[in-house]
Structure 1
Amino acid sequence: MSDVFDELKWRGLMANSTDEAALAEHLETGPVTFYVGFDPTAPSLHMGNLVQLMVARALQRAGHRPLILVGGSTGLIGDPKETAERVLNSKETVAGWVARIQRQVSLFVDFEGPSAARLVNNLDWTSGLSVLDFLRDIGKHFPVNRMLAREVVKARLEEGISYTEFSYVLLQSLDYLELHRAYGCTLQFGGSDQWGNITAGVELVRRADGGHVHALATPLLTKADGTKFGKTESGTVWLDPEMTSPYAFHQFFLNAEDAKVIEYLKVFSERPRDEIEELARKTAAAPHLRAAQRALADDITALVHSPAERDAAVAAAAALFGRSDLAGLSEPTVASVVAELNGPSLEVGAELPTVVDVLAASGVVASKSAARRAINEGGAYVNNVRVNDPDARLAETDLLHDRYAITRRGKRTVGAVSLLRG
């Protein structure tokens, strides 16, 4: 227990804390019950949520007890954004997302043993709470002038903010008070963008019960240019394999920038310090080998999806560039590769398209004439087989799983198509 505070600091997982020395002592003196919350604002958790789950795993390994909260009530309200009012989702939608996210978070912590985790839902203690009781018992502890001073509220005052979102901080603070009373919870953590809500909960516990509790916030991970990490051109990187395939997930981390990869490795890999420091030395000496990127992508894909899905993603990447056989890949893996390559669908009838048509449609060449030139120059491939005849037509035996064709020009330009039967 005495090492976890230093580990979190070394891994760059502490941006703020209510009292650093007091928190370090608190974590050292015995098992602490802590909580981290996730609002169901989408059907899946994302990369920012995974940062919090890595902190929870580290604390649990050190002997502390997790309460993993999925916000069935706070998800109905929505934490205020700086830009505009949130669109409220239906109760049925939020309930469905709660169930999905509960299943996701259950994969990351242990629900057995002396430090067993517990899932909690704040709808359990808010659904029966009357407005009068909420205003009398909770609202009286929140000075309006301090609520107005919150950065997110100030950013919205000119355009307007609903009372619903304005009061969100009361609901989240109530969570801390309830978990402190019911389970002796004395630590809450979350992203640095939640720091105002988190410290409001600390203050509510003090005002309502005279309790002394702790809080910490993790930093917002960014790319080298300062933009938010965890988004691609196609959108958010999700933990749900149906929303971001394991192959795309692995590729995302494999493409981490040299300048940031060790920072990400400290957060998302559970390798010990000496291994990470060795990878840092290798990256500095030979960045072209991308040893840290491979370690990062392999570790996080195995954790979030499974070792088998990690192996499938590695095999797919190797096969894509001709280093192994594409035919050995499963259909879901091939489908995810085609989707990641933005492979178009081609409608076909009794006759399959020509290789020239497929090369042009997949985008590895700019035109059909360019496809013919690539074939004549010996640099065109379909499913890693060099094409020699510019007049050739695809055969059924050329297709992966009866519908997919992976195209390549030269060593690095890769595309794909999927065939739709008429």
Structure 2
Amino acid sequence: MSKQKPIFALIDCNSFYASCERVFRPDLAKVPIVVLSNNDGCVIARSYDAKPFIKMGEPYFQIKHKLRQHGIVAFSSNYALYGDMSERVMSLIEAMVPAVEVYSIDEAFADLTGIGGLDALGRQIRAQVLRCTGIPVGVGIAHTKTLAKLANYTAKRLQSQTGGVVNITDPVKRDWVLRNTDVAEVWGVGRKMKLHLDAMGIKSAMDLAKADPWTLRKKFSVVIEKTARELGGTSCLELDEPDPPKQEICCSRMFGKRLTELQPIKEAVATYMMRASEKLRAQNSLCKKVRVCIRTGMFNPEEAKYANGVIVDLPYPTNDARLLTQAAVGALDRIFRVGFKYSKAEVMLLNLCLPGEYTDDLFATSQPAEATRVMAVLDQINVRWGQGTLRTASVPMDPEWDMRREMMSQSFTTKLNHLWTVACK
């Protein structure tokens, strides 16, 4: 019996950050939107109707006039909202297909091998996600992951004709898409690679699919060789397994303003450690070392520059936010220097291990069972009532150093006091 040819789908949210903002602001359904980076620095996301006017990465302070001119609404990044909406979208997809690889916050590959009625399933996924979350998605279906990416791109580019779903498992449809897609739109082909391919006469995705894979491998890399083979219909990339636990966990932020005193920096480090310890417990790991770093701004020629970090050994492997915070905050006394304007702090959890993966001697101290229970209760409360509901005493409520997010929307799905309210007249 011959092996079944694999079939993949790529489900990708349309203008995800902007779509999340629109879900809870129906008045912005036809208004162009941009989302800004930390401290309202530059544009990191654009709705489709904002793309003709605003480039990705443009500094906010330079484009305020263009935003007003074209009626574009700017939002500060609201990662709590985006993360929660992503989890809702992915859980819906996982319930409808046999296997899923979450590729990024707004896209996932699905294995549809052996399933019939692919077009109908694509439309069903799209309708279900839109109905349950309000997020529009595009669905591309093909025999390889690279072709599924291309099909998804076509579904979005020609949405009025495709309805947001494109199935190119048919060779005739696949070839039409390949002929009518610039090689720069192929997954893994960047601007520099496009220039090299142009020089070889490879202009379209079809040109790349027909190119000799071994020549591409010798001239460029095995990645481009696999890309060409995938475009030709040979699957080289399988659905990835879930990522193993991270070996390091980092949390760092730019301050909303320059800090010159030690106390607010300690508050910031305690806040970052609270978040890092949540990630640590989420993957059921323990930490043996902590690294703490602080630095000034590095690009203002009028400011004195300073950066330093220190590694602290913990008394035993732990995921207790209290012990981790105590170690990190205490380390600041060793690296803080008066007279500098600090712009950023970072905490990093090192030498991570799973419980039972490390060997202690008979007299070594280990994390008390009571601490493990306390952390479990802390996480349960924060999951139920929202992140930051319960925290260590050194983490402030509304710190002066917090990131500038003057245009941030409410956390509609993660904070009880931000839930929609209905007024009855």
Q: Which has the higher contact order (CA 8 A, sep 6+)?
A: 2
Q: Give the TM-score of the pair, scaled to structure 2.
A: 0.24
Greater share of residues in helix: 1
